[in-house]
Structure 1
Amino acid sequence: MKRPTSQQRIGPRTLFRSLAWLRICAIAGQSSAVLVCALWMQLNIPLLPLLVGIGVLAVFAVFAAWRLAQPWPIREWETIVHVAVDTLILGYLLHFTGGASNPFIALLLVPIALGAAALSVGGVSAVAALAGVAYAVLLFWYVPLPVPMGGTSGGFSLHVVGMGVNFVIMALLLGFFINRLARAVRLQQLEVQRVRERALRDEGILAIATQAAGAAHELNTPLSTMRTLLPELRREHVGDAALADDLALLEGQVDRCRTILREMVAFGKAQLSQEPEQITLASFIHGCLERFQLLRPEAELTLTQDKDAARIMLRTPPGLRHALLNLLNNAADASAMNQSQAVALTARRDGGWLELIVSDQGPGFSATGELAVLGQSQKQTGLGIGLALAEATAERLEGELTTSNSEHGAQMTLRLPLAVIAAP
């Protein structure tokens, strides 16, 4: 199952992006309002100072767009500075258009509403204090709006119209931008939930690994005892050919168990040393398939490998081989559900990614397509602990494990970034 990803998180950068879009809308709206009042309604407003203020805001919008494109992290204080610049320019424009009596004075609340969803308590307090100071100043220091033709009633009608337009603008701005911030909150909650589930899964893996280490240590003694007794039993029953064959088979199985234990110890040492193995992709896959054929000799394996991908030199990290073997083993189990032994492996390069695709001819995944819960055997659907371990390995290597249904069964794709696993 493909893990959810989120590029958008609630915080200063999200608010910074919202302010950039809001600034563009403000420039368009302010320019339209000033031109309508000066040219169409013939109001005697200070046109030049207003256009200068809008021009300064446009220049600042260009700078903010450039800053947003930079890879440097955006701090909270930087976002507050941008809010302060927007507030000062808005206060400058309101100063020449009636001050606090202008119905658009309510626009000072927009930065506070947006900051409340993305800033800390101190940041929101600073933005609110700045907006409050601007409002208090505009109560006493402003240029009155000229009264339109028609006297007092005409001025009141214009004020009512301005209040209506301001209500529509506030509703649209708050509805759109707060919805964007709320969406970022939901995405962050999903990310937190995914991290929590991953932590629980890793705890289960650690518990199983601890039990496996203890079992390996305890099994070494009885295996050594059996390895000592089996040759003596063969010498005591030299004349019994059937028993000798059975004892030889048992001796081979004991040696195989000891080999598996030694591989477990070697894998643990490699995991601790974090020393990757330098090997080509073709050699890596060849070794995995040899091991798989020993474990599942009945499987009918088909390999498809790009020539360009085969020459890639891998810095094979510990665990990748076991992840691929787990996927192949699960595929063999799934194919056996439909009385088939077919398993297919495709290795290819997709840009900067290496894709290892394992296909089977089983019943496929369920409609939910979710991975098995760690520790619960679900072999009837081709899932088990091996798939969870493979997903953990993919995440540790900054890759992903996706599952899907193909025409003949299920398909599991292990995508790994070459920047992490390929040798320079």
Structure 2
Amino acid sequence: MAKTATKTPAKQSAIAIEYENSAGHKNMLQLIQLRWLAVFGQLSTILIVMFGFGIHLPLFKMLVVLICLIGFNIASHLRWHERVYVTNGELVFALLIDVFSLTAQLYFGGGTSNPFAFLYLLQVILSAVLLEAWSTWIIVAITSVCLAGLSLFSEPLPLPPNETGGLSHLYVAGFIICFILNAALLVFFITRIGRNLHARDAQLADLHQRAVEEDHIVRMGLLASGAAHELGTPLATLSVILGDWRRMPEFKKNPELLEEISEMETQLQRCKSIVSGILLSAGEARGESAVKTTINTFLNDLTKEFTSTRTIVSFGFDNQIQEDIPIVFDTALKQMVCNVLDNALEASPDWLRMEVRRQEDSLIFTVVDSGHGFDPVILSRIGEPYQSTKGRPGSGLGLFFVVNVARKLGGQVMASNREEGGAIVQLSLPLSAIML
């Protein structure tokens, strides 16, 4: 039996962590964008306060903090442009840099008497959305310590002579601006971060579904392996009997019986190839019996074998590939295409057509029939096991195997109904998966 392609729990967990880190990368990019807005906002606020309201600020010190924040953001952009996975600890570090830079600016800008101290809430809420629970509490503790420290230690903010301090109109105006800024940034960025997290959850759900399907393939592979061993002896016995019949004088003198024996031998050989094909398809996409050939030779042999072993009234084959590309194929690849053709033949025994073409770096198989088409429910669940209207136990596995083998090769399967009746199944495979 071919080696199975199932994922162990450890591998599944590793892939799940990769999806988590991938979502973290998107969130880190959101933080980098937010930091650029913070730089612009801080610079604008400093200039407005100094030249608009006539309040003297330690400009040099605040610009040094701003330059450090810009340098950190440039370094972050360069780092996360090359690396696509971000861990929880790296997100914590990035948020702490934002907290410390805000603390430094508030220290030089009046401490807790500065209404922009409420921007700490933005950091806490972002940490609650982005980080694990224990990390969020660390951010809460550090921001609380920073806020308490600012209430005790900070450079006083010199107000104009007409400002008496307390709840002055400047403080109220700053408070309103801070609230609007907090609200706008939270709505904008948490919406985008939520979209990233939703995409991550969808990817994890898809990963889980694929793991379940591949586990089913393993079980089918074991069943196929057992069936192959069990059927091997009776099929071999039948082959020997048919060979003996062909040599018997009673049959040699009867051309009709010889013709029937030839047909029985053909169907017997087909049974053997079907068992082998299912065995490989249920195991892994690339079997052990790989053969070097060219794409046109492969297609011609496949169509010749298909038409000679099936009863077809009209079969059209359109090969649009000009360049005869060297490839490596195995029984699983051939069985995958034959499964699509068999399904179409069962739905449309009078007419069937297959078109093969190259589209950029992909090989496109298009199978068209004139049957009743797919039921809308079945069409929406193509590739899931036991999705069939044939009403037989075990039916619906043909396209299930096709979809999973195509997926392992990096391809995909699409199905639709024709307006004039019948169905279209399109199988797309990357040439890199089969080319020499």
State the TM-score, normalizing by the size of structure 2.
0.81
Instruction: Decide which of 97, 101, 110 is 2:113's aligned counterpart.
Output: 101
Does structure 2 retain, via aligned residues, the 8 Å contact 1:331–1:360?
yes
Deviations 1:21-63 (A, max 9, x none): 1101111211221121111222222233223322332232222
The one-letter amino acid of 1:303's match is: D
Matches within 5 A, 1:33-44: 33-44=45-56
What does residue 356 of structure 2 align with? 346
Number of aligned residues: 408
Residue 64 of structure 1: SS of its match in structure 2? Answer: helix
The one-letter amino acid of 1:183's match is: R
Distance verdict in 2 for CA 1:69–1:257, change over 3 Å: same
Query: Partners in 2 of 1:266 and 1:154 — Cα distance?
Result: 83
Residue 152 of structure 1: SS of its match in structure 2? Answer: coil
Query: Partners in 2 of 1:377 and 1:151 — Cα distance?
Result: 79
Query: Partners in 2 of 1:239 and 1:334 — Cα distance?
Result: 38
Distance verdict in 2 for CA 1:24–1:378, change over 3 Å: same
What does residue 139 of structure 2 align with? 127
Query: Partners in 2 of 1:304 and 1:263 — Cα distance?
Result: 25
Matches within 5 A, 1:198-209: 198-209=210-221
What does residue 304 of structure 1 align with? 319
Query: Partners in 1 of 2:311 and 2:332 — Cα distance?
Result: 23
Instruction: Decide which of 195, 202, 224 is 2:207's aligned counterpart.
Output: 195
Question: 2:365 aligned with 1:356, yes or no?
Answer: yes
Query: Partners in 2 of 1:129 and 1:107 — Cα distance?
Result: 15
What does residue 179 of structure 1 align with? 191
Distance verdict in 2 for CA 1:256–1:372, change over 3 Å: same
Query: Partners in 1 of 2:99 and 2:430 — Cα distance?
Result: 45
Distance verdict in 2 for CA 1:418–1:119, change over 3 Å: farther
What does residue 323 of structure 1 align with? 336
Q: Which piece of structure 1 moves more, 205-214 or 139-148?
A: 205-214
Deviations 1:131-153 (A, max 9, x none): 23322221211122222353327
Query: Partners in 2 of 1:229 and 1:278 — Cα distance?
Result: 34
What does residue 283 of structure 1 align with? 297
Residue 411 of structure 1: SS of its match in structure 2? Answer: strand
Question: 2:54 aligned with 1:62, yes or no?
Answer: no
Q: What is the RMSD of the two structures over their aligned residues, measured on CA atoms?
A: 3.3
Query: Partners in 2 of 1:328 and 1:223 — Cα distance?
Result: 25
Q: Which runs of 5+ in 2 are unaligned?
A: 1-17
Query: Partners in 2 of 1:69 and 1:59 — Cα distance?
Result: 15
Q: Please state how far the C-alpha of 1:238 moved relative to its aligned partner.
A: 5.5
Q: Please state how far the C-alpha of 1:113 moved relative to its aligned partner.
A: 2.2
What does residue 333 of structure 1 align with? 346
Residue 164 of structure 2: SS of its match in structure 1? Answer: helix
Residue 82 of structure 2: SS of its match in structure 1? Answer: coil
What does residue 3 of structure 1 align with? none
Distance verdict in 2 for CA 1:420–1:116, change over 3 Å: farther
What does residue 8 of structure 2 align with? none
Deviations 1:367-416 (A, max 9, x none): 46321541343359xx9321111110011112222223455443322222
Q: Which runs of 5+ in 1 are unaligned?
A: 1-5
Distance verdict in 2 for CA 1:75–1:216, change over 3 Å: closer
Q: Please state how far the C-alpha of 1:348 moved relative to its aligned partner.
A: 0.9
